[in-house]
Amino acid sequence: MKILGISGSLRENSSNTTLLKIIQAIPDPEVEFEIYRGLGGLPFFSPELDDGDASDPVRELRAKLAGCDGIIISTPEYAFGMPGVLKNALDWAVSSGEFDKKPVAALSASPTSAGGDKAHASLLLVLSALGADVVGEASFPIPAVYKRISKTGEIVDPAIVGLLSGVLSGLARAIKSGRE
């Protein structure tokens, strides 16, 4: 099964991108995991640009979304919500429907012990509008992420691998049950 990871951060060493890299490194012979790298290259969404002749970056995003069986989104929290670049990418999928009934795991990592919940709620609201099948057991905020992984991407708390393995296995179960 093909799973696409999308980080809501443009920083290569962000904790959210690191979480996706940890998931990508979890051995599972049934899973082909790719991290989408084109978030920063998408044009700003505008309905008049969404006419079937969208730009190359938009076509690439839509093809990756359409070609996967499930999606894992990991987002930081900026100003009590998800970053604009992630919202922009999701807006490009509104009319084309790639999220409709697709299993999605939603994570939000925050450096604070009480953070991530607002970005998580924001992400869940948008995924609901897109018709995504959000997998509850694989979707949650991860507060105090720097107690689990360092700012340089090293695993500080080995329990994070088990937590993220649960995300991957929960999403895989949802994909399999949708195929039956």
State which residues form the domain around 36: 2-179
pLDDT band at 93 (very low <50, low <70, confident <90, very high): very high
pLDDT digits (tens, 9 = 90+) for 145-158: 999 999 888 999 99
pLDDT band at 47 (very low <50, low <70, confident <90, very high): confident
CA distances from 38 to 16, 62, 85, 86 (A): 15, 11, 10, 11
The domain spanning residue 121 has which CATH number?
3.40.50.360
Number of domain units in the chain: 1
CB 45 within 8 A of CB 61: no
CA distances from 71 to 34, 128, 133, 154, 160 (A): 10, 14, 10, 24, 19
Nearest to 124 by CA among 109, 144, 108: 108
Stated pTM of the model: 0.95
DSSP labels, 154-174: -BSSTHHHHHHHHHHHHHHHH
CB 97 within 8 A of CB 31: no
